[in-house]
Amino acid sequence: MSFRAFLAICLCRFLRGFSRLVHRGGTAMPGRWALKVCPDLLSVLARGVKTVAITGTNGKTTTARMIDQGFEDAGLSFFANRSGANLMSGITTEFVMNSTLFGKCKKEYAVIECDEAAAVGVFPQLVPGLVVVTNLFRDQLDRYGEVTHTLENIRKALAGIPEPIEVLLNADCSLTASLAEDTYHSYLFFGIDKGAVPSGKKSELSDASHCIRCKTEYEYDYITYGHLGGFRCPKCGYHRADKPEYAVTDVTEQRPDGSTVVIGGVLMEPRMVDVNLPALYNVYNAVGAIAAMREMGIPDETAIAALGKFKCGFGRMEDFALGKGGAKVMLVKNPAGCNQVLDFLQNIKDRFVLVICLNDRAADGTDISWIWDANFERLCELSGRLEKVIVSGDRAPDMAVRIKYAGVDARFVETERDYEKLVSSLESEERPIYMIPTYTALLELREVLVKHCGGDEFWV
């Protein structure tokens, strides 16, 4: 190891310790400074570590936490970037804190969530043994550009890994599945089979309506949500894998607190699995996670049990003891994810309060036009169950206008941009509360919730 790498490790450790001393996260900043001293530090620290990397638009954090639980239950020596710091700087910080001063990692395995735009720089240094690509949707146009640009980023990231590895791809996402056209790595597929859930309607706003190969409009045998499902091109024949190695063959029950599904496929005998989070998008996360755990050698019983007991905090269906009915926080970033949260709300039987927090800072994406693509009109289908809507965040007025045009009566819409006042006003609320913030709004809102209700800091 070079002297520059040694200095970078020492600097990173000092900055991390100081950050925690003053009660800041210190998740990315220490690694950012360390990389200024030694730009290839991650490649030094990741050498010899058996790493699972998870990337894609939606579901990275939840899938990583599912795998994390499986590794823990299996008794493996590992670490993970649980804070969600998934750029090069945050990943480097985690490796530094789990290595000696001389760059030797103290753990055998790592579970690393990686931002899809950052993957092109991270993967060649990280050299993961297994990569999971969850899905690709349009997200933060000011940062990522069109979804095909994100696809090419991941394609280049995989091509930059200096040795062949195993890659798990979402079979139902026509964009993600196209990565298997590059034959350098070994590819396995996961997805939800036809008949497992009632087929949804063809989305008027699809992020992948035309064939990635010949630009002909896809036909679908079934749709789960968005552009995911049994796609096929009537011209060139590009289609969803007929028999994914891992597949959900039946969704037997969807509850407000989770789902029960059957997971099988070419490489797995059908097994009943309880997923400890609700909504269909978490079923995708579950089948991707169980595929990764099995490919890493974790026994079926351990992997299945992990999906039923893991906890995914930091705004991913995270619960707080606020008011008499409690509060659930659900991060939203883009139209597809927001629509899935709105679908989840349709299953709530009791009257409830909805809080929507919209920011437009760099980490959120400065372009908030996506709120007009999200189907907030579904709020009108809640048949008297919606007690009121409170809008908050930097762009609360814009959100209020969007809710108005969605058809929600203005008498049921309130604005409160001060999170302290917002949370205090809800402490006596008798109804359940559902909060859907964007990323930076989540950071600030969650800090206030932890102060009032208790809970871990986001980096724990």
Asked whether the predicted pLDDT for residue 68 surpasses 50, the reply is yes
DSSP 208-266: --B-TTT-PBPEEEEEEETTEEEEE-TTT--B--SS-SEEEEEEEEEETTEEEEEEE-T
Rounded to the nearest 5 percent, the helix, strand and coil shares of the chain are: 40, 20, 40
Neighbours of 430 (CB within 10 A): 10
pLDDT score of 364: 85
- Banded model confidence at residue 302, pLDDT cuts 50, 70, 90: very high
- Banded model confidence at residue 250, pLDDT cuts 50, 70, 90: very high
pLDDT score of 457: 64
Each residue's pLDDT tens digit, 96-154? 999 999 999 999 999 999 999 999 999 999 999 999 999 999 865 545 557 889 999 99
d(C-alpha 91, C-alpha 22), whole Å:
21
Buried b (16+ CB within 10 A) or exposed e, 217-229: ebebebbbbbbbb
pLDDT score of 258: 93
pLDDT score of 311: 84
- Banded model confidence at residue 401, pLDDT cuts 50, 70, 90: very high
Kindly report the CA angle at 258 between 256 and 260, in degrees rounded to 5? 125
Residues forming beta bridges with residue 190, ordered by sequence position: 170, 246
Domains of the chain: residue spans and CATH: 3-189+276-309 (3.40.1190.10), 316-453 (3.90.190.20)
- Banded model confidence at residue 21, pLDDT cuts 50, 70, 90: confident
**Could you give the count of Cα atoms lying within 13 Å of 456 in the half-sphere of its Cβ?**
12
pLDDT score of 164: 96
Averaged pLDDT score across all residues of the chain: 93
With contact defined as beta carbons under 8 Å apart, do 448 and 423 qualify?
yes
Which residue in 430, 443, 190, 143 sits closest to 295, CA to CA? 190
d(C-alpha 134, C-alpha 121), whole Å:
19
Asked whether the predicted pLDDT for residue 205 surpasses 80, the reply is no
User: Where is average pLDDT lowest: 19-28, 341-350, 358-367?
Assistant: 19-28
